[in-house]
Amino acid sequence: MKIAVITLFCREHFRLEAWQRYYQEYRDEVHLHVIVNNGDKEDSALLQESFPGSTVLWSPTSNMMASYNLALREVLLYPEVDAIAQIVNDVRLSPGALGVLYDYLYSDPELAMVSPVLLRKDSEVIDSFGCSINPRNLDFVLNDSGRTLSEVGVKEVGATGLPGGAFLAKRALYERFGIQDESLMMYADEIDMGIRVERLGYRMGATSRACAWHQHVNRDGKAARNPQAAYLMGRNAVYIARKYGPRSRVVRVFFRRVYCGLDEIRSAVMHGKEMGFYRFGWAMVRGAFAGLRMS
């Protein structure tokens, strides 16, 4: 078992202390840890000091897919690495989770990528137990969301998509799959990955034998609604629909994202919400139109 873990960092000093604790809980299962700093270059020294056994790379772009690809290229230079994980810096894993995921991943030659059950912060309430991609409109559905861990029991389930914050993939997948689509920048990459994995003839799965808690440590404790995120959510979904077709799905996805953006604006008007909610909705509408123009 030679697992490489990739983690991105972008000016998230407010997460650093908790991230160090989370990493200490699973570091013994990690063969190679690659951190990509795609924020301020001077933060690389701080990261190297905080994670002395890790490889720290600096990426001069805010494009998260490009930064992830930088780490992938680094990891693939190590031929002994046979599994690659992405673990975001505010995710905590249950004891032995990486080993459990590794055994599950290699229990079936058709499995290419697996994830733990993802739980809400400091709870046993499920955020997602694997994910499903609606083939008609590319909605990303979080399976079993809102149920408790005891309700689903200990088992493995199939999935057509996995959450981007915590997963483990076979090295062979990336050798066939190649790098991530950097046109996406961020958001909807899980949809692109799910479609591409299926087209390669592989499967995805999730297991409740391993748990992950997405602690959602936000800047200043705020749950900010970023219009740029809404723009990319709208744009990337339409772009992916165009990338894989058919045309009928492109139309459905486009109008779905426009509707979601307008509904956000409607809700803001009816409930007297702050201006950020209006900007969020309008950004998603603009993003949907931008997706039609992407090459």
For residue 222, pLDDT beyond 70? no
What is the per-residue pLDDT across 50-88, written as a single tens digit (0 to 9) for each?
999 999 999 999 899 999 999 999 999 999 999 999 999
Residues 176, 259 within the same domain:
no
Domain closes at, from 168, 199, 219: 219
Residues 230, 100 within the same domain:
no
What is the per-residue pLDDT across 224-254, written as a single tens digit (0 to 9) for each?
468 899 999 999 999 999 999 899 999 999 9
List of residues 6+ apart from 140 with CB closer than 8 A: 131, 132, 133, 134, 161, 188, 190, 191
Residues 155, 247 within the same domain:
no
Residues 78, 212 within the same domain:
yes
Measured CA distances, 41 to 60, 131, 168 (Å): 8, 35, 28
What is the per-residue pLDDT across 146-161, written as a single tens digit (0 to 9) for each?
999 999 999 999 999 9
At residue 116, φ and ψ (nearest 5 deg) are -75, 170
Domain closes at, from 200, 219, 238: 219
Let me know the angle formed at the C-alpha of 159 by 156 and 162, rounded to the nearest 5 degrees.
105
Residues 282, 181 within the same domain:
no
For residue 223, pLDDT beyond 80? no
Residues 132, 20 within the same domain:
yes
- Provide the Cα torsion 39, 40, 44, 50; round to 10°: -80
Domain residues for 33? 3-219
What is the number of structural domains in the chain?
2
User: Do residues 146 and 196 lie in contact, with contact meaning Cβ atoms separated by under 8 Å?
Assistant: no
Residues 140, 238 within the same domain:
no
DSSP assignment string, 87-154: E-TTEEE-TTHHHHHHHHHTT-TTEEEEEEEEE-TTSSBEEESSEEE-TTT--EEETTTT-BHHHH-S
Residues 254, 270 within the same domain:
yes
Residues 234, 211 within the same domain:
no
Residues 93, 128 within the same domain:
yes
Residues 204, 234 within the same domain:
no
Q: Domain with 69 in it: what CATH number?
A: 3.90.550.60
User: Do residues 127 and 119 lie in contact, with contact meaning Cβ atoms separated by under 8 Å?
Assistant: yes
Domain closes at, from 219, 254, 275: 219
List of residues 6+ apart from 37 with CB closer than 8 A: 9, 10, 43, 44, 47, 56, 57, 58, 59
DSSP class of residue 219 equals G
Residues 37, 101 within the same domain:
yes
